[in-house]
Amino acid sequence: METDERRSGVRAAAAAPEPAGRARVPRQLWVEEPAERRRMPDPVRTAAVRAVLIMSLTIIQAVVAFLCTLAGSWLAFPMVVSGVASTVVATWSVLDVWVTRQVWNQRHGVVSVPSSTARRMRRERRAARREARSRARKEARIRRRGAGGLSRA
């Protein structure tokens, strides 16, 4: 619903008297919408927040270094040197987000890709466990039959 539609709806509702027997439905302040994308895993989100904080501090430091250079302050040289160092750290933190995301996907499987390697490996492990359980049940059945002799006949 657009803002103009909401405004016109409010004016129309205020101008027209309510019919008897119908209660007025209050407008909702918050409308829940389904999420289009899944939430990021915790380690990836932590790395992303860390990277954003480091990058913002690096940008602030670069602005201060620039302003100190324009002003001819003695602080300009140390700020430029530390700005270069913090740029390296910021680049490292962005790479950390990328690597953390790749590691998460590799360990936990990519849900959205049907031909996921992790999904195939999980399927194979489940099949192996199922096979081992059925083999163990068969072995137990054979042992029970062999131990009792001809008690069933």
Angle between helices 42-71 and 76-108 in degrees, nearest 10: 170
Number of domains in the chain: 1
Residue whose C-alpha is closest to residue 122's, from 143, 104, 107, 144? 107
As a dihedral over the C-alpha atoms of residue 84, residue 87, residue 89, residue 94, rounded to 10 degrees, the angle is -170
Q: H helices of the chain, where?
A: 3-15, 42-71, 76-108, 117-148
Domain-located, residue 95: yes
Residue 81 confidence (pLDDT) above 90: yes
Residue whose C-alpha is closest to residue 112's, from 22, 21, 38, 52? 38
* pLDDT value at residue 114: 56
Domain-located, residue 11: no
**How far is it, in rounded angstroms, from Cα 130 to Cα 132?**
5
Q: Name the burial class of residue 152, with classes exposed (0-12), middle (13-18) and buried (19+) by CB atoms within 10 angstroms of its CB.
A: exposed
pTM of this structure = 0.51
The domain containing residue 93 runs over which residues?
A: 38-110
* pLDDT value at residue 110: 62
pLDDT digits (tens, 9 = 90+) for 82-119: 999 999 999 999 999 999 999 998 888 765 555 666 77
Domain-located, residue 94: yes
Domain-located, residue 149: no
Domain-located, residue 139: no
* pLDDT value at residue 1: 52
Domain-located, residue 126: no
* pLDDT value at residue 149: 54
**Is 65 in contact with 83 (CB distance < 8 Å)?**
yes
Domain-located, residue 13: no
Domain-located, residue 22: no
pLDDT digits (tens, 9 = 90+) for 24-78: 777 778 888 887 888 888 999 999 999 999 999 999 999 999 999 999 999 999 9
Residue 153 confidence (pLDDT) above 70: no
Residue 80 φ/ψ, nearest 5 degrees: -65, -45
